[in-house]
């Protein structure tokens, strides 16, 4: 019989989960140039969310779409890392999976840009 894997519970689980999440953020920022670019844009745009007179819901939408872009980028990177781990040879299914991940990032970016434009336009017209 195999020994059961001990799972952390309670506060210890929360601490480990936080550690792994922050580690993932650091690794993504270190190894993924697209994520670094999106993070930089997020950090540049974030002050404007609070400087410009937006409602709380508008602020949430503006921050939310930026976080969504980085989240989808991280998931896309995870897909690519997983596929590259198992094989570096070109395979049509691996290529499709990577293209689907790229499409998800593009769609999220388009929604983010549209959200920013729709909410900023009235402030400057």
Active site residues: 73
Tokens 């270190």 appear where?
Answer: 30
CA gap 27, 15 in Å, rounded: 18
CA gap 31, 114 in Å, rounded: 28
Q: Which of 72, 59, 71 is nearest to 116 (CA)?
A: 59
């Amino acid at each position: 019989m195999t020994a059961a894997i001990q799972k952390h519970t309670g506060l210890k689980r929360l601490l480990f989960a936080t550690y792994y999440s922050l580690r993932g953020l650091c690794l993504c920022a270190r190894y993924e140039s697209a994520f670094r670019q999106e993070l930089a844009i997020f950090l540049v745009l974030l002050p404007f969310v609070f400087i410009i007179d937006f409602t709380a819901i508008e602020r949430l939408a503006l921050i939310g779409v930026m976080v969504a872009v980085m989240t989808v980028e991280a998931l896309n990177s995870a897909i690519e890392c997983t596929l590259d781990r198992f094989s570096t040879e070109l395979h049509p299914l691996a290529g499709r999976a990577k293209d689907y991940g790229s499409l998800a990032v593009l769609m999220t970016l388009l929604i983010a840009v549209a959200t920013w434009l729709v909410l900023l336009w009235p402030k400057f017209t």
